[in-house]
Amino acid sequence: MHDDGIGPDAYDALIDERTALVSACHGWYVNGFVQDVARVAARARAAGALSFVDAYQTLGAVPVNVRDLGVDFLAAGTLKFLMGVSGIAFLYVRPEIVESLRPTATGWFGRVDPFAFDAETLDWSPNASRFDAGTPAVVNAYIARAGMAIIHDVNPASIRAWHEVLARRMIDGGRARGLVLHGTDDVSQKTATTAFVVPDSHAVEAAMRARGVLPSARGPVIRLAPHFYTTLDDVDCALDTLADVIRAR
């Protein structure tokens, strides 16, 4: 991983006939870089390996079609761009491989008939629910459902288009204010999440929060992650605040 992201051929030399599973993030949590996971999945399959994609940083921000991507597994949670809360995550498993997989850890919802309460039979659901474990966080699930309904109504494609506008404003506005960008400036290869290199990111985060702007400190950077409801004025305000805080240090 370089500051600009991951090159499309970075996996080629790392995947061979010994590889069982290739794990890749769809979007990088630090600066929003979106990598070509369809290419990664194709390369893995050509080598006889399975592909696992973490889409936590992209679902709700980027339209995702698991069939088009060709991935074997895709996991995400609802806390970030899906407008949910912590405690709810989900896993997609390519239907064609479900029967060939046997969980090493299981729970009552992974059974063929969970409500049979048959503690003496070890069987698995015929679909991806065989990977379920215990009882989900029910209240959190209702919140997650409401959040996903909002994303569905707004439309992921429309969200993606606005995110590109926000990302462009963030990148260009940061440069105009003398901020140091971390990651690519190609908005087609990233989410709206944008990061800037700062001294003592945790101190900068605290100072910005005290002024009403809510960034995230991630290692050497401050991460700004707007969403579909964010305005260009919001972006300008966040950038002005970040620049002022850095100057004051």
Element (H, E) at 219: none
Q: Say if residue 178 is in the same domain as residue 129.
A: no
Q: What is the pTM of this model?
A: 0.89
| Residue indicated by tokens 């992921």 | 156
- CB 212: neighbour CB atoms within 10 A? 9
Residues 100, 74 share a domain: yes
Domain hosting residue 210, numbered range: 156-248
Same domain assignment for residues 96 and 217:
no
Which of 86, 29, 17, 31 shows the shortest CA–CA distance to 55?
Answer: 29
Whether 205 and 236 map to the same domain: the answer is yes
Out of 23-27, 103-107, 203-207, least confident range: 103-107
Answer yes or no: do 114 and 215 share one domain. no
Q: Is residue 5 part of a domain?
A: no
**Is residue 2, in this structure, part of any structural domain at all?**
no
Going across the sheet that includes 50-54, the strands are 21-25, 50-54, 73-77, 89-93
- Residues 120, 145, single domain; the answer is yes
DSSP codes of every residue in 44-70? HHHTT-EEEEE-TTTBTTB---HHHHT
Sheet containing 194-197, strands listed edge to edge, beginning at the edge strand earlier in sequence:
180-182, 194-197, 221-224, 216-218
Specify the number of domains making up the chain: 2
Domain boundary among 136, 154, 172: 154
* 142 and 46 within one domain: yes
Asked if residue 122 belongs to a domain, the reply is yes
Domain membership flag for residue 233: yes
The reply to whether 92 and 58 lie within a common domain is yes
What are the helix and strand counts (H, E) for the chain? 6, 8
State which H helix or E strand residue 84 sits in.
none
Predicted confidence band at 106 (pLDDT cuts at 50, 70, 90)? confident
Query: How far apart are alpha carbons 241 and 227 in whole angstroms?
Result: 18
Per-residue pLDDT, 73: 98
pLDDT band with cut points at 50, 70 and 90 for residue 7: confident
pLDDT computed for residue 162 by the predictor: 98
- The whole-angstrom separation of Cα 38 and Cα 64 is 11
**Same-domain status, 30 and 146:** yes
Question: Domain check: are 85 and 170 in the same one?
Answer: no
Residues 25 and 141 in one domain: yes
Structure tokens at 203: 């101190």
Give the three-class secondary structure for 118.
Answer: coil
Q: What is the average pLDDT across 39-49?
A: 96
Q: What is the mean pLDDT of the chain?
A: 94
The residue with greater pLDDT, 171 or 9, is 171
Q: Which residues pair with 25 in a beta bridge?
A: 54
Give residue 30's pLDDT band: very low, low, confident or very high (50, 70, 90): very high
The answer to whether residue 43 is domain-embedded is yes
CATH code (residue 185)? 3.90.1150.10
Pick from 154, 175, 208: which residue ends a domain?
154
* Final residue in a domain of this structure, among 154, 171, 203: 154
CA distance 197 to 180: 5
**Residue 14 domain flag:** no
